[in-house]
Chain A
């Protein structure tokens, strides 16, 4: 339960952990976008090595990253296989009905595989090395320009923080409600489909009612402390931008340059 509140954050002291959450968020999203523009094996080699380098710098064991890929590996392999089987061109090795295995197809399949794996690895780096609360602050900071358009960015970030704080409580509550209903003789996991679904009512109703109580108490406390949406606020946690953050973003620019050069010079 406790693991949920922290997300998959993996506390460590590394250069990647110390980077500003804003820099990491921007860099990760940019990197994922960049992956879709690579169309040469050498480009994949570069970004692949870059990703491995970043993973090494987090000082987190490789097995933790592999764990993130495992639930999706079949989907990825399947997608890559389909690409292999349905892409023609180049030297044809095997041809069987509508399926062909060609040199072009093998490359495209490998690229698909690489792209998915790298997307998962880099988003895992982000979530393992950054606390969810820091990421909410980063979202708050990055969405700030939208405030001029009247989007309630601060309120949004505050709502996310409140929800992160309440998820474990509500989980405990669910457990308690279920135990209470069992003690009253409700048997879960038996009967027809409709009967089983109906048993959700005695779980959901008390859960819903008690969570609304919590929300009302929370709102009362905020009102007592005179929370005003849209007012200027100071923050308890401060994000600080260091030189290393600028360097991280510059590396993204460098990577883009490499990808462009490889795409245009290699054929």
Chain B
């Protein structure tokens, strides 16, 4: 296995920090909560940054970094949404979203490495795929968790319907992730540094 360079590790660490800040951005800056259909959706930039990690760092480093994010949370630093931490968060009904971030990073990284042409259409498509990976795993896990160990009976469709406001928010953010990536493209670790 190819070993990591110092730059890879520090970039990976930076994305852990960005995930931590993105998860709780409304905690420090409450005015960033967004009303969608009457519900105030707390803005979480986790999906946003995990997609960006994939496209920016590439599949291997992104998955490594996002796994690191989960570990930082598990060992008790409050980096998950609502300043939560600990193993329990992963077993809660939203734990699937957290676990899926690793795959989101991998998948968006993989696609981004395969598709050489970087323009608004290609990058935003990759970002949207990232969001869907996130939600398919996240919502299925939510359904599974509620119906098994949490002992709450809920229909699969109902789980999806509850997540629609968040899905809309994350799809818009995915578009913004594409914009950010295109602006920062020359700083990617695979091209910027040797």
Contacts and interface: CB of A to CB of B under 8 A. Distances in A.
Contacts of A139: 71, 75
Contacts of A222: 6, 9-10
Interface residues on B, range: 35 or more
Interface in A197-229: 197-198, 200-201, 204-205, 207-209, 211-212, 214-216, 218-220, 222-223, 227, 229
Contacts of A8: 76, 78, 85
A163 B13 contact: yes
Nearest to A199: B32
Contact of A171 (B10, B14, B21): B21
A23 to B, nearest CB: 15
Interface in B11-45: 11-14, 16-18, 20-21, 25, 28-29, 31-32, 34-36, 45
A216 B180 CA distance: 19
B151 A196 contact: no
B43 to A, nearest CB: 8
B76 A175 contact: no
Interface stretch (A50-58, A118-126, A249-257): A118-126
B136 interface: no
B116 interface: no
B18 A208 contact: yes
Contact of B28 (A126, A174, A227): A174
B87 interface: yes
A233 B160 CA distance: 48
Interface in A146-160: 150, 152, 155-156, 158-160
Interface residues of A, number: 73
Given A167-B20, A201-B176, A132 B76 contact: yes
A263 interface: no
A123 B90 CA distance: 13
A136 interface: yes
Given A123-B87, A166-B13, A208-B180, A135 B76 contact: yes
B38 to A, nearest CB: 12
A99 interface: no
Contacts of A82: 151-153
Given A123-B87, A193-B34, A174 B21 contact: yes
B189 to A, nearest CB: 9
B1 A152 contact: yes
A114 interface: no
A136 B75 CA distance: 8
B36 A193 contact: yes
Contact of A79 (B64, B150, B173): B150
Contacts of B153: 82, 86
Contacts of B173: 197, 200
A185 interface: no
B10 A204 contact: no
Contact of B92 (A4, A75, A123, A223): A75
B90 to A, nearest CB: 11
6 contacts: A75-B150, A78-B152, A150-B1, A152-B1, A216-B10, A216-B193
Interface of A: 4, 7-9, 25, 29, 32, 71-72, 75, 78-79, 82-83, 86, 112, 116, 119-120, 123-124, 126-127, 130, 132, 135-136, 139, 150, 152, 155-156, 158-160, 162-164, 166-167, 169-171, 174-175, 178, 188-189, 193-194, 196-198, 200-201, 204-205, 207-209, 211-212, 214-216, 218-220, 222-223, 227, 229-230
User: Which 6 A/B pairs are nearest by Cβ-Cβ distance?
Assistant: A127-B76, A189-B31, A222-B6, A162-B13, A163-B16, A219-B7
